[in-house]
């Protein structure tokens, strides 16, 4: 199992559904489903391949970037990447 998988398992086990986390989201209006779709390098790489012509050398904004894995891959192609995420659980990753 990869380090990334370990970290994600840890986050789900220790954060997801916790009352204090739900309270935080209630206070800030940031309720989210806590679901990632980009959680390994292979998947991120496939997305970069698909978007390459549209992002190479450009400034890219990713809204709702989860753990930032896609943003890291974007940074290898784009001129600059801004990644915005409101869920503290994912931001801490």
Ligand X SMILES: C[S@@+](CC[C@H](N)C(=O)[O-])C[C@H]1O[C@@H](n2cnc3c(N)ncnc32)[C@H](O)[C@@H]1O
Name the residue number minimizing CB distance to ligand X.
Answer: 64
Alpha carbon distance 78, 70 (integer Å):
12
Residue 28 CA to chain centroid, in angstroms? 19
Rounded to the nearest whole angstrom, what is the least distance from the CB of residue 43 to ligand X in the complex?
Answer: 9
Binding site residues, ligand X, CB under 6 A: 32, 35-38, 63-66, 84-87, 90
Rounded to the nearest whole angstrom, what is the least distance from the CB of residue 81 to ligand X in the complex?
Answer: 13
Length of the chain: 93
Rounded to the nearest whole angstrom, what is the least distance from the CB of residue 79 to ligand X in the complex?
Answer: 21
User: For 39, what's the count of Cα atoms within 13 Å in the CB-facing half-sphere?
Assistant: 16
């Amino acid at each position: 199992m990869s380090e990334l998988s370990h970290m994600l398992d840890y986050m789900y086990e220790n954060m997801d559904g916790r009352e204090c986390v739900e309270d935080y989201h209630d206070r800030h209006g940031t309720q989210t489903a806590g679901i990632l779709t980009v959680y390994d390098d292979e998947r991120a790489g496939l997305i970069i391949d698909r978007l390459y012509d549209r992002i190479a050398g450009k400034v890219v904004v990713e809204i709702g970037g989860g753990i930032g894995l896609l943003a890291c891959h974007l940074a290898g192609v784009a001129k600059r990447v801004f990644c915005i995420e409101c869920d503290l659980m994912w931001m801490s990753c």
